[in-house]
Chains A and B, each alone.
Chain A
């Protein structure tokens, strides 16, 4: 189990050699931008990206420029899974089987509008790695609720009088139900855990899915400096446990959380500021319940309610 201090980048590291360049259009403290940086470091240059509509369609920079040093295909919002499958098929047809196809979508493009095409690709077991950088709302369009928005959260379409009243979709469970060879959660606050998962995913053939918790300081109404801190807290308070699932069946928790109260996590973010003690207690109960269920799946604890 790894946590805390990240492995260093090596003495010879040069920004110039990275596959993601400075000058990009991500907001200050963009978790999605950092997620890309970390994933590409692990993927290496033999990677082709498929990006549907999402913040990243802005971050990468406009025509006639690019912020990335790997080939990138922009595709419509709901098509990441299918377009990546097509790209994969073309590369395979041309014998370029050593190139990785990396679909890179936000939570809206994954949990909601893109769920069908993702489901298709996973069910067919297309040989792609699908990464969802999850900032828990439609951020690019100005913070509207998505299927990934947590219960109780404010967004511009769930005002504080009527905040979101349904829990976040459990994306990993949806994929596990497809018997996907590999699905995992990761966060930029645990870079070595994230890199290990990307490397693991690279080794596996077939559909692979990585859900990366990627804070959006702009949409979460928080100081950008806490971008990593909040990611770490999400893990430590069990809101976003770090684990992996093999073949939709074998669960493995990769980072042991510290058990921070959910309240502390909520307090750092403006999107939860309106929540009262009762709502926070309810959230804590739900998080505890989900965590126990996960422990049970990971064969670490029996589960009885």
Chain B
């Protein structure tokens, strides 16, 4: 198009009799006017960027919005083998990061993930894995929690055979023994673990490494991934704590998960303000108890997820704040707990306000039992001393490498952010590092960012900020609501509370997504260019005709999702 040249009209004889055009203006390359240069640059959306498991959230939302539910599900599977689990129990940092949250309310990403996982299950979709490579290498994985399952899965996708050692009689780790069934029904977990077993991951249950299997037996594996979790409940360190009627919160949850019905009496005190405390409280409620949670600080400092706290209160858990346990005494059948009154002090190192004694008389409350949920520690005594640990955690780099070349670690025993999504992410990164190490034929080579390219969200740079979204192109729309079990039904047992959204609700919700940073071929740049300098490429997306683009910046401004960037045009500035 830009091959035209100016006309060569030398004299009167070359000119027409009247003022009439003889050629087009196409010879006139207005690109020379430009000092800003538009460029198409897709970038990570904040949702995917915030996902500790590495989910390409925008992509699965996009495929789903196009009606390709299966493709959307497979997109999630590229990062995580547990969409049914995450769709229920993940604390969805993706939604907190979602730019739509600054416009009206964030996308209901978790609800959609769950919807996709459930519909895939209904449709009987299976994971597709490549054949296992000819190499005899097998990798040992210690623990079948989310980190172990994720690592095993990603190794399997890389053609490597994993062997998973699980100390308990059933698989799933904290997913099975820590998270109550009303949040994560066991059949959902079973369903996703069954998919993993179906692609040739070997599971050995009832095999605790360091007890049933000696650490030395790990020597036959070229790599080991340790993800045994954090199960040891912390003590309160107060008088009378060791007597009867006091139970660890996580241990309580484990017993309930195993089908036991621990005797906790009628009036139960849960000490702590984290997610385990909430789970313990709500579980105790379902066993018929009257539950009082006692937390040292105020509501704002609670580490538990606010939605969980709210639900617990709605279900009838009483929460008392600014009371620190000071002693436990037994009186008859019951227990009297002594609490010291506390007040909020200055913010501490983590930003939360510290507490200081408020003075006044201590408070004494009578209970039948106490559930202590003051945090959990990891037990890595099975690891050789050469694997360095600090502050109760195995020391790892971002690829899960420990101080021992063959040994990798992840999940709750190796990281401070103890969430399912973080665990899945740690397993995935370790699997990549292990696969790379094995391919290199020796001890793990330092893995680089480049290892992640194939499945990583595009760009690899800062996610699209809300300011880069042109909200003029999005109508306000209500976020879908999760249907839930009635209060009466809930307290009867452990039936799942969240019932899942319908396909219609999912479709409506999917329309709300901004698709930040992703060109959806909306044509805005093409339509609004005053210089006809945007062209459609064969793939449906666009390119700029820099011969003519004057650099007005309209395409960048009117891109609804921050894909078109304006940059100083170095070529032109010279």
Contact mask for chain A residues 219-242; partner B; CB cutoff 8 A; 1 contact, 0 none: 000011111110010000000000
Q: Contacts A29-B530, A225-B554 given: A23-B27 contact, CB under 8 Å?
A: yes
Q: Are B21 and A65 in contact (CB under 8 A)?
A: yes
Contact mask for chain B residues 3-45; partner A; CB cutoff 8 A; 1 contact, 0 none: 0000101000001100111111111111001000000000000
Residue of B23, B526, B536, B560 with most partner-chain A CB within 10 A: B536
Q: Are A64 and B21 in contact (CB under 8 A)?
A: yes
Q: Are B472 and A229 in contact (CB under 8 A)?
A: yes
Q: Are B523 and A9 in contact (CB under 8 A)?
A: yes
Which chain A positions have C-beta within 8 A of B560?
5
> A1-39: which residues lie under 8 A (CB-CB) from chain B?
4-6, 8-9, 11, 13-16, 18, 20-31, 33-34, 37-38
Asked if B552 CB lies within 8 Å of chain A CBs, one says yes
Asked if B532 CB lies within 8 Å of chain A CBs, one says yes
Which chain B positions have C-beta within 8 A of A24?
25, 28, 30, 531
Asked if B353 CB lies within 8 Å of chain A CBs, one says no
Q: Are B25 and A23 in contact (CB under 8 A)?
A: yes
Asked if A150 CB lies within 8 Å of chain B CBs, one says no
Which chain A positions have C-beta within 8 A of B28?
23-25, 61, 65
Q: Contacts A23-B25, A64-B21, A67-B24 given: A9-B526 contact, CB under 8 Å?
A: yes
Question: Bound complex: CA of A224 vs CA of B33, how far in Å?
Answer: 13
Which chain A positions have C-beta within 8 A of B553?
28-29, 223-225
Q: Are A20 and B532 in contact (CB under 8 A)?
A: yes
> B368-389: which residues lie under 8 A (CB-CB) from chain A?
none
Q: Which of B100-108, B453-461, B543-551 contacts A (4 or more CB under 8 A)?
A: B543-551
Q: Are B23 and A64 in contact (CB under 8 A)?
A: yes
Q: Are B25 and A65 in contact (CB under 8 A)?
A: yes
Question: Bound complex: CA of A64 vs CA of B534, how far in Å?
Answer: 26
- The residue of chain A having its C-beta at the shortest distance from the C-beta of B523 within the complex is A8
Asked if A191 CB lies within 8 Å of chain B CBs, one says yes
Which chain B positions have C-beta within 8 A of A25?
25, 28, 30
Q: Contacts A4-B473, A28-B33, A64-B16 given: A22-B533 contact, CB under 8 Å?
A: yes
Which one, A4, A11, A30, A223, contacts B536 given CB within 8 A?
A11
Q: Are B557 and A228 in contact (CB under 8 A)?
A: yes
Contact mask for chain A residues 177-189; partner B; CB cutoff 8 A; 1 contact, 0 none: 0000000000010
- The residue of chain B having its C-beta at the shortest distance from the C-beta of A188 within the complex is B528
Which chain A positions have C-beta within 8 A of B419?
none
Asked if B258 CB lies within 8 Å of chain A CBs, one says no
> B518-543: which residues lie under 8 A (CB-CB) from chain A?
521-524, 526-536, 540
Count chain A residues whose beta carbon lies closer than 8 angstroms to a beta carbon of B.
47
Q: Are A227 and B554 in contact (CB under 8 A)?
A: yes
Q: Are B1 and A15 in contact (CB under 8 A)?
A: yes
Asked if A66 CB lies within 8 Å of chain B CBs, one says yes
Which chain B positions have C-beta within 8 A of A188?
528
Question: Bound complex: CA of A61 vs CA of B25, how far in Å?
Answer: 7
Shortest distance from the beta carbon of A229 to any chain B beta carbon, whole Å:
6
Q: Contacts A15-B1, A64-B21, A228-B528 given: A23-B30 contact, CB under 8 Å?
A: yes
- The residue of chain B having its C-beta at the shortest distance from the C-beta of A13 within the complex is B536
Which chain A positions have C-beta within 8 A of B552?
28-30, 217, 224-225, 227
Shortest distance from the beta carbon of A113 to any chain B beta carbon, whole Å:
22
Shortest distance from the beta carbon of B564 to any chain A beta carbon, whole Å:
10
- Chain A interface, DSSP helix/strand/loop, else mixed: loop
- The residue of chain A having its C-beta at the shortest distance from the C-beta of B38 within the complex is A225
Shortest distance from the beta carbon of B305 to any chain A beta carbon, whole Å:
35
Question: Bound complex: CA of A37 vs CA of B1, how far in Å?
Answer: 18
Question: Bound complex: CA of A66 vs CA of B23, how far in Å?
Answer: 6
Q: Are B475 and A227 in contact (CB under 8 A)?
A: no
Q: Contacts A5-B473, A9-B523, A229-B472 given: A21-B557 contact, CB under 8 Å?
A: no
Shortest distance from the beta carbon of B513 to any chain A beta carbon, whole Å:
14
Q: Are A225 and B531 in contact (CB under 8 A)?
A: no
- The residue of chain A having its C-beta at the shortest distance from the C-beta of B527 within the complex is A6
Q: Are B558 and A228 in contact (CB under 8 A)?
A: yes
Question: Bound complex: CA of A62 vs CA of B23, how far in Å?
Answer: 10
Question: Bound complex: CA of A232 vs CA of B522, how far in Å?
Answer: 18
Q: Are A22 and B532 in contact (CB under 8 A)?
A: yes
Q: Are A4 and B475 in contact (CB under 8 A)?
A: yes
> B60-103: which residues lie under 8 A (CB-CB) from chain A?
none
Which chain A positions have C-beta within 8 A of B16?
64
Asked if B410 CB lies within 8 Å of chain A CBs, one says no
Q: Are B527 and A23 in contact (CB under 8 A)?
A: no
Which chain B positions have C-beta within 8 A of A20?
532
Q: Are B33 and A65 in contact (CB under 8 A)?
A: no
Residue of A38, A64, A66 with most partner-chain B CB within 10 A: A64
- The residue of chain A having its C-beta at the shortest distance from the C-beta of B15 within the complex is A64
Q: Are A28 and B532 in contact (CB under 8 A)?
A: no
Shortest distance from the beta carbon of B23 to any chain A beta carbon, whole Å:
6
Asked if B556 CB lies within 8 Å of chain A CBs, one says yes
Asked if B566 CB lies within 8 Å of chain A CBs, one says yes
Q: Are B26 and A232 in contact (CB under 8 A)?
A: no
Q: Are B536 and A225 in contact (CB under 8 A)?
A: no
> B171-220: which residues lie under 8 A (CB-CB) from chain A?
none
Which chain A positions have C-beta within 8 A of B529?
34
Which chain B positions have C-beta within 8 A of A22?
1, 25-26, 30, 531-533, 545, 547-548
Question: Bound complex: CA of A22 vs CA of B551, how far in Å?
Answer: 13
State the A residues within 8 Å of B (CB).
Answer: 4-6, 8-9, 11, 13-16, 18, 20-31, 33-34, 37-38, 60-61, 63-67, 69, 72, 188, 191, 217, 223-229, 232
Other A-B pairs, 16, CB within 8 Å; known A15-B533, A22-B547, A225-B556: A8-B523, A8-B526, A14-B535, A15-B1, A28-B550, A29-B550, A29-B552, A30-B552, A37-B532, A63-B19, A63-B20, A64-B15, A66-B23, A67-B25, A225-B554, A229-B557
**Can you name 11 A-B residue pairings with CB atoms under 8 Å?**
A4-B473, A11-B540, A15-B532, A23-B28, A26-B530, A31-B530, A38-B527, A63-B21, A191-B527, A224-B552, A225-B566
Nearest 8 CB-CB pairs, A to B?
A225-B553, A29-B552, A22-B548, A66-B21, A23-B25, A34-B530, A28-B552, A8-B523
State the B residues within 8 Å of A (CB).
Answer: 1, 7, 9, 15-16, 19-30, 33, 472-475, 521-524, 526-536, 540, 545, 547-548, 550-554, 556-558, 560, 566
